[in-house]
């Protein structure tokens, strides 16, 4: 990007209105703007209409746009996805919601055998512009099946794109970007972050939450809507995370900085496709990597990330890639979440292991 274009973008960032919004409010605003500008967009799911959703993410949208465009469905997730697939085949842009991530299991057959394959099977004649919103992960002390970490399941499926925003700014822009895609997107919203407020810049394609981690180069104050972003620059090791774990890794980086350790935090954002260039660029600089996620360790998404890092940065790594994850047990109910979800101490121990590693 030229210096003149760079300056123009940064000027937009300075002049654009910065609103203090929670992630719930940012998603609600994005959905409202999508409905305003795209008459083919439809929002539906359990309790998304009159109630405005369990987390009030769709609050007020049925009143604004009517029950034909924002409507409640029966308690049948396979029916919700089947409806979305049929609507997409008819030329609509469905935005269904699964009320909690654990409720998505009954719809997995529809997601894998139809939603993800229809465009491929039809040789492009039937694109699937479906954005499935899934309140995801734990951290709210909910009952069993109300907190899960399904990213490795969805990311494994060819034909799906998977993204998880870490803050309100990302949620607003990435949701609008996902809906504009011709492909099915699983939009995993970290429910533990719904109520955390931050500044949101409404200028299109301006994401002032980091530096591009991929091939766009380090342009301060702006990042592409594709790939990863550097949430915090550093030089001693890279913490790689997504969703709600990005905030936790930022806390870890703050604490480590008190001891003179500068940790880079790479927000992966897109879990399918994974930003291989962004991973390689960050870890090549810091030469150490720690992957942090809530899901179980064995065959979790962190294993794929670690493999990509090892493959790309084998000659520069000074320690094996560390993983700090959930345990290899079913995702627990709320009273055991604090023991299951990676906490600050566990992540710091992971950092210590890679920093103190010495080859034999």
Distance CA 137, CA 301 (A): 14
- H-assigned helices in the chain: 3-15, 23-37, 61-65, 77-89, 108-110, 118-121, 151-155, 168-179, 244-257, 276-286, 301-313, 337-340, 344-356
Distance CA 230, CA 244 (A): 15
What are the phi and psi torsion angles at 332 (to 5°)?
Answer: -80, 165
Q: Residues 204-212: contacts with CB within 8 Å, 24+ apart?
A: 204/173, 205/173, 206/9, 206/12, 206/13, 206/16, 206/173, 207/169, 207/170, 207/173, 208/13, 208/169, 209/166, 209/167, 209/169, 209/170, 209/267, 210/267, 212/278
Run of H or E including 1: none
List the catalytic residue out of 93, 145, 146, 156: 146
177 classed as catalytic: no
Q: Which residues pair with 323 in a beta bridge?
A: 291
Catalytic amino acids? Answer: 146
């Amino acid at each position: 990007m030229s210096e003149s274009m760079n300056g123009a973008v940064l000027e937009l960032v300075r002049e654009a209105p910065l609103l203090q919004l929670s992630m719930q409010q940012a998603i609600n605003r994005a959905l409202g703007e999508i409905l305003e500008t795209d008459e083919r967009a439809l929002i539906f799911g359990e309790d998304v209409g009159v109630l405005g959703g369990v987390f009030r993410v769709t609050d007020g949208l049925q009143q604004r746009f009517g029950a034909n465009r924002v409507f409640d469905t029966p308690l049948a997730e396979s029916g919700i996805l089947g409806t979305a697939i049929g609507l997409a085949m008819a030329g609509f842009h469905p935005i269904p919601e699964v009320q909690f991530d654990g409720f998505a299991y009954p719809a997995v057959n529809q997601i894998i055998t139809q939603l993800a394959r229809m465009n491929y099977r039809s040789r492009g004649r039937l694109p699937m512009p479906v954005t499935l919103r899934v309140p995801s992960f734990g951290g709210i002390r909910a009952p069993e099946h109300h907190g899960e970490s399904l990213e490795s399941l969805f990311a494994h499926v060819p034909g799906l794109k998977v993204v998880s925003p870490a803050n309100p700014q990302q949620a607003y822009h990435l949701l609008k970007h996902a809906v504009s895609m011709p492909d099915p997107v699983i939009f995993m919203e970290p429910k533990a972050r719904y109520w955390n407020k931050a500044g949101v810049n409404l200028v299109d394609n301006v994401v002032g939450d980091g530096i591009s981690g991929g091939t766009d180069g380090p342009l301060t104050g702006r990042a592409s809507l594709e790939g990863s972003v550097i949430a915090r620059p550093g030089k001693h090791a890279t913490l790689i995370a997504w969703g709600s774990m990005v905030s936790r890794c930022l806390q870890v980086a703050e604490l480590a900085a008190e001891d003179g350790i500068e940790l880079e935090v790479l927000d992966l954002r897109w879990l399918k496709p994974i930003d291989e260039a962004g991973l390689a660029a960050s870890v090549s600089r810091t030469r150490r990597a720690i992957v942090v996620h809530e899901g179980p360790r064995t065959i979790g998404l962190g294993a794929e990330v670690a493999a990509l890092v090892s493959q790309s940065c084998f000659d520069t790594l000074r320690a094996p890639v560390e993983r700090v994850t959930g345990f290899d047990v079913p995702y627990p109910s709320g009273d055991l979440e604090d023991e299951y979800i990676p906490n600050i101490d566990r992540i710091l121990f992971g950092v210590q292991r890679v920093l103190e590693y010495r080859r034999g």
